[in-house]
Amino acid sequence: MLEKVKELISEVESAVAKTDQEVENFRLKFVGRNNVINDLFDEFKSVPSEQKRELGPALNKLKNQAQEKLKELSNALNSQSSSVSDVDVTLPGTFGKEGSVHPISQTKSRIIEIFERQGFNVEDGPEIDNDWNNFTALNFPENHPAREMQDTYFVEKNPDILLRTHTSNVQIRLMNKKKPPIRSIMPGRVYRNEAISARAHCFFHQVEGLVVGENISFKDLKNTLYHFSKEMFGKETKIRLRPSYFPFTEPSAEIDISCFICGGSGCKICKQTGWVEIAGSGMVDPNVLENCGIDSTKYSGFAFGMGIERITMLKYQIDDLRLFSENDIRFLKQF
C-alpha cells in the first residue's frame, strides 16, 4: 500500500493541466467526494499498526499535496486566460458611422431660432385637416383651382377631409383657440398632388407666420421679414416686396431677397435677376379674422409662409428637391 501512496504522490507532483477539463479531472480523482485518497484512508484502518507509522504521514502528505496542487493548477489556468487575450489593445478602434441632423431639420431649427428671438412662439397643427381650415376659412373661393383633385390629396369627400396643402390651416386653428395678441410661427409638412421632379414634390415643408393685434401694419410685416432675411442670409441682404395675390391676405406680397451668392449682380441661382423669392405674405384679410371670431374693426394682422426646402436649396445651392427625401447618405453626410 505504501508503494501505491508513493506512486500517487509522484503523480500529484507531476500533474499538469492545460484546460479546465483537465483541472476538473484532477479534482475528481484526488479531492472530489469519491477520491482515491479517501479509499486509501478506508484501507488504512485495517492495516497492521506497525505499518501505520509510516503509512499515516505518507497518506496525509498525499492529501495535502493534492489540495495544494489543485489550487496551483486552477490558478495557473486562470492567470493564463487573462494574460493571453485575443484583444489587441494597440489596434486602432473601429467607429460606427455617425448620423447627422437632416438639412431640412437644420433649416427649420434655424428659422425657429431667428423668429423666437423676435418674440414669436411655435405652434403646431395637424397634417390631416378639413376643408374649412385648409381652404374655406382662408377665403378660398368655392371654385378655386387649388381645391381640385389634381392639387389636393383628399382623404374623404363630403365632408371633405384632406392632407393640408399648406401650413396656413394652423392660422385658422390658432385664431379659433386664442385671441389677439398673436405672434406665432407654425412649421410643418404639407402635401400636394404634384408630379415629382427636381423642382416639385408631393410633400414638402413650410413655416407659416401670423401676427394679430391692434395697429399691426404693413410696416411690421416688412420689418419682421427684413430682420429674418439678414439673420438667415447675411447682414448685407436687402429685401423687396412684389405685389401678389393670396385669397387670405389683402394686400399680398411676395418677398424677394437680394441674391446672397452674387450680391445682386446676377448669377445662375438668381437667374441673372439679382433677386430670389423666399416667401409669400400679406395683411390678413378681414374676412379671415371674422371667420375666426376676431373683430376686424379692432384688430389687424400680417401673415407669411415660406418653404423650408426652398430656403435650404438657396442656402446650400442644391438644385434637386428629390435629394431631401431619397436618404442618400452621400448627400446627407455633407450637412
Distance from C-alpha of 320 to C-alpha of 103, rounded to nearest angstrom: 13
Place of cell 431631401: 324
Q: Packing angle between helix 308-316 and helix 218-233, nearest 10 degrees?
A: 40
Considering the rule CB under 6 A, would residue 168 count as an interface residue with ligand DAH? Answer: yes
Interatomic CA distance for residues 275 and 264, integer angstroms? 7
For position 136 contacting ligand DAH by CB under 6 A, the verdict is no
**Smallest Cα–Cα separation from 61: which of 127, 8, 99?**
8
Nearer to ligand DAH, 130 or 168 (CB): 168
Q: Whose CB is nearest to ligand DAH?
A: 305
Q: Residue from 15, 303, 311, 323 that binds ligand DAH (CB under 6 A)?
A: 303
Q: How far apart are CA 65 and CA 60, in angstroms?
A: 8
Nearer Cβ to ligand DAH (17/284)? 284
304 touches ligand DAH (CB under 6 A) = yes
CB closer to ligand DAH out of 26 and 228 = 228
**Interacting residues with ligand DAH between 197 and 236 (CB under 6 A):** 208
- Least distance from ligand DAH to the Cβ atom of residue 144, Å: 12
CA-based Rg of the chain, rounded to a whole angstrom?
42
C-alpha 258/C-alpha 278 separation (Å) is 10
> Minimal distance in Å, beta carbon 248 to ligand DAH?
6
Q: Kindly tell me which of 76 and 202 has the beta carbon lying closer to ligand DAH.
A: 202
User: Is 246 a residue that touches ligand DAH (CB under 6 A)?
Assistant: yes
Sign, CA dihedral 329-330-331-334, equals positive
Using the rule CB under 6 A, which residue among 166, 183, 205, 310 binds ligand DAH?
166
Output 166 or 205, the one with its CB closest to ligand DAH. 166
User: Residue 173, interface with ligand DAH (CB under 6 A)?
Assistant: no
279, 283, 284, 290: CA torsion to nearest 10: -170
Which of the 8 DSSP states describes residue 257? E
Which of 180, 280 has the CB closer to ligand DAH? Answer: 280
**CA distance linking residue 257 with residue 274, whole number of Å:** 9
Positions that interact with ligand DAH (CB under 6 A) = 166, 168, 208, 246, 249, 280-282, 303-305
